[in-house]
Amino acid sequence: MNAAKRLEIFRRLHEDNPEPMTELAYTTPFELLVAVTLSAQATDVSVNKATAKLFPVANTPEAIYALGVEGLSEYIKTIGLYNSKAKNVIEACRILIEKHGSQVPDNREDLEALPGVGRKTANVVLNTAFRQLAMAVDTHIFRVSNRTGIAPGKNVVEVEKKLLKFVPKDYLLDAHHWLILHGRYVCVARKPRCGACRIEDLCEYKAKTSDD
């Protein structure tokens, strides 16, 4: 795909949604960190339902740490893998309290040192909470990048690097949100809704559908 096509794709995505945001509910970097950690292999809707009950009761490292694994598990047991996620969040809270003054670090190294925080979660926090140029590639973004031809790659790291290289600079900071929303609602996994797609004429996917 050439640069002119990519520029027009992101121009249209920006035109349709000038200020895209994550669908995870949060008000602080810590709440976002917890929500993203809980969202692994779970839907944002299920995470938001759980945190809507959790955060009014506990939304700081100290408050959640005080709940303990069992206490936290009660709030998040509707989410997949809740036991291991509860252990990770509690341990992450301990590290934040002891090593970071209860503040979420704004750098990759310290974020990825937290239990349950991998490259993707760190990228979401860096980009969304701290507005740094970071590209979190989940299944939706991986699919859209490959299917459209925007940034094809064999694995998530390859796609991440290509997106950082090829997405026009003016759109890079919000590209993560546009691509994830496009993959979630239009360029869906089973059968893309090409008939309802704003960038269908620019997309290089061969097996287009008429679905809208």
Cite the active site residues.
120, 138
| Closest alpha carbon to 63 in 29, 89, 37 | 89
Provide CB contacts within 8 A for 178, sequence distance 6+.
10, 13, 14, 17, 20, 171
Distance CA(174)–CA(129), nearest Å, equals 12
Query: Any binding-site annotation on 187?
Result: yes
Q: Which amino acid is at 57?
A: V
Ramachandran category for residue 134: left, alpha or beta (phi over 0 → left; psi -120 to 50 → alpha)? beta
Residue pair 35/25 in contact (Cβ under 8 Å)? The answer is yes
Helix axes 82-99, 29-38, angle to 10 degrees: 150
Query: Any binding-site annotation on 194?
Result: yes
Q: Which amino acid is at 203?
A: C
| Closest alpha carbon to 176 in 126, 110, 112 | 126
Query: Any binding-site annotation on 93?
Result: no
Q: Please give the annotated binding residues for [4Fe-4S] cluster, written as ranges.
A: 187, 194, 197, 203
Q: Please give the annotated binding residues, written as ranges.
A: 187, 194, 197, 203
